[in-house]
Amino acid sequence: MNPVVSLLPGGSAAPATSVSATAAEPLTLGVMGGGQLGRMFVHAAQSMGYFTAVLDPDRNSPAGRVSHRHIQTDYTDPAGLQQLAACSAAITTEFENVPAPALRELAKHRPVSPGADAVAIAQDRAAEKAHFVKCGVPCAPYAVIDTSAQLEAALSANLLPGILKTARMGYDGKGQVRVKDAGALRAAWQDLKQVPCVLEKMLPLALECSVIVARGRDGQMVNFPVQRNLHREGILAVTEVYEGHLPEALQQLAVSAARSIAQGVNYVGVLCVEFFVLQDGSLVVNEMAPRPHNSGHYTLDACDQSQFDLQVRTLAGLPLTQPRQHSAAIMLNLLGDVWFDANNTMRLPDWAAVLALPGTHLHLYGKTEARKARKMGHLNVTGASAQVVRDVALKAAAILGIDAF
């Protein structure tokens, strides 16, 4: 296996050999996980002429339903992994809790990006924070809590009030407890079944932002503009990207921090780094996601290349060019809540009223059951100026019952 192979659609893994575009079955790109991120990856890969294979145990997975192949097994099932490796020219992942050993197994047979080592760091908050420190990017003061003795020692580290976060498997604010004092911290760790955790100091946030970078196997790196993000109850609610949404100096700092974090793990693929901006204006890194990210969905409609296009390019070893944002953009996340009215009765959102607004782009993930807090889709609003997209996005939010921002 050649690790720097360039996988062009419609033929051979070696672009120098003359293979007619019509002679061979298109190459297949594989993805571990069948959620909405996998679905949007599949759409991007297919639009470039690739076939796709998705490994996900759920027969109704959003990506599995639109892929040429859906391998319906557990992520660690040897037969499933073998099938994925056999049919794919290269393999990526769409969720960060994909078991790292499965990626290592696949990497014996095919190029896999991001690599298991980078994914393993992002899967563990303690390893992730150690990586940030190594890269010289400040993160929130924290303590690793694996034992009762470490918990007691953390009490004298000036970390309270804080947030106790499970080291592994957290997402959308799950596995997190806000703790004010020693009693609450001890009780919270009991409630979390004493699994390994990190205790983070609660910081005075002014706002949150994120940066998405794409890095090729040759180390070439490009980035999207910095996204300004609003979270509600631990879940991303709104992303805004337009002229003047963040101070210029802060954007430069965030981009260079994200680039060093990617470089520091020799990352290949699309990486999102999330930051806090504190009330004193300083920038603190929160966490990284080894895949495209919810805060990058606006790129589908507001940029000349989307984050999923760049995932395809990095995976296939194709050239990267710096993406250009051509429209001001706001993304509204569409959680299952939008399918319920004020009396908690199920309803169909008024899509016609939303789509009657100029510059609206509706993306739904094909999930059949709407549940509160479940990500069902997103609405991108694009336009010529911040003013225009804010006006339209606020109107759309009002129609959908999403709080103003």
CB of 187 to ligand ATP, least distance (A): 19
Tokens 């998405």 — which residue?
212
At 361, phi and psi to the nearest 5? Answer: -130, 115
Question: Which residues make up the interface to ligand ATP (CB under 6 A)?
Answer: 140, 163, 165, 170-174, 200, 202-203, 205, 208, 231, 234, 274, 286-287
**Closest CB to ligand ATP among residues 135, 202:** 202
CA distance 200 to 142: 4
Nearer to ligand ATP, 130 or 202 (CB): 202
Whichever of 173 and 336 has its CB closer to ligand ATP, that residue is 173
- Rounded to a whole number of angstroms, the minimum distance from the CB of residue 178 to ligand ATP is 9
* The pairing of beta strand 90-93 with beta strand 197-201: unpaired
- Of 5 and 185, the one with the shorter C-beta distance to ligand ATP is 185
Count of alpha carbons within 13 angstroms of residue 43, beta-carbon side: 15
Between 77 and 172, name the residue whose CB sits nearer to ligand ATP: 172
Question: What is the Cα–Cα distance from 70 to 52, expressed in whole angstroms?
Answer: 9
Q: How far is the CB of 161 from ligand ATP (least distance, A)?
A: 9
For the bound state, the minimum distance from the C-beta of residue 31 to ligand ATP, rounded and expressed in Å, comes to 19
Question: Which residues pair with residue 303 across a beta bridge?
Answer: 325
Q: How far is the CB of 64 from ligand ATP (least distance, A)?
A: 22
The answer to whether the CB of 195 falls within 8 A of the CB of 148 is no
The residues near 356 (Cβ < 8 Å, ≥ 6 apart) are none
Rounded to the nearest whole angstrom, what is the least distance from the CB of residue 184 to ligand ATP in the complex?
A: 15
Identify which of residues 174 and 347 has a Cβ nearer to ligand ATP in the complex.
174
Name every residue whose Cβ is closer than 8 Å to that of residue 244 and which is 6 or more positions away in sequence: 386
SS3 10: coil
**Range 320-329 burial, b when 16+ CB lie within 10 A, else e:** beebebebbb
| Shortest Å distance, C-beta 351 to ligand ATP | 26
**Alpha-carbon span 396 to 357, nearest angstrom:** 8
Of 53, 195, 204, which is closest to residue 140 (Cα–Cα)?
204
Q: What is the dihedral of CA 280, 282, 287, 292, to 10 degrees?
A: 110
Report residue 401 CA to chain centroid gap. 25
DSSP structural state of residue 238: E
Residue closer to ligand ATP (CB basis): 170 or 225 = 170
Burial 342-362 (b: 16+ CB within 10 A, else e): eeeeeeebeeeebeeeebbbe
C-beta closer to ligand ATP: residue 28 or 286: 286
Work out how close the CB of 40 gets to ligand ATP at its nearest, in angstroms, rounded to a whole number: 17
